[in-house]
Amino acid sequence: GGGANYLLEAGVGNDTTSFAVGGIGRARLIPNYEGSVSLKQGGAKDGDMIADDRYFQHLVNNYNYIHSEDTGTYLIQTTVELRSNLHLKFARNTKFKNTEIACKNLLRAESLTRQNNITLDGGIWDANGDGLPGCTPLSSTQCLRFVNLEDLEIKNVKVLNTTKYCIFVNNATRVS
């Protein structure tokens, strides 16, 4: 309900995963992802060898919260452009992989006008730099690129196979 970060789920758990609540027994707090969408809800399919970036970009353009516990590998052919007030949360073993023949950013938040309030939590981001002929140590590609923004939070991410920088942050304030 009402936009809270957590909801109370009653009647579940044990002594290590929940707490006692008078009148209802055991309960636990669970994240409230009301209004969020997953990659699969947006049309992406892992493992089908078809680029998923257009589905991903559509979700980024239209939803503030993309939450996905969907595992598998999602292929990125064109850089996904991020915007303000966007929260991305993925399972730690959800993989996003560059499929283009040239090095490029998988995610980019860069604009002349200052963007703010972007969270990236989770996922494996594979630039595939070792598998692409156009990628060399001199390539100027960053797997994840964030420029001219404030309130950026990055956590629980793993970056693979870059030729330059894993995560590039420039002209940014309040970064964690």
pLDDT per position as a tens digit, 106-162: 899 988 888 899 999 999 998 877 656 555 555 556 788 899 999 999 999 999 888
Written in H, E and C, the secondary structure of 107-145 is EEEEEEEEEEEEEEECCEEECCCCCCCCCCCCCCCEEEE
How many CB atoms lie under 10 A from the CB of residue 104? 22
What confidence tens digit (pLDDT) does each residue in 17-69 have?
666 676 667 776 665 555 677 788 788 887 777 788 888 999 899 888 888 88
CA 165: distance to chain centroid? 18
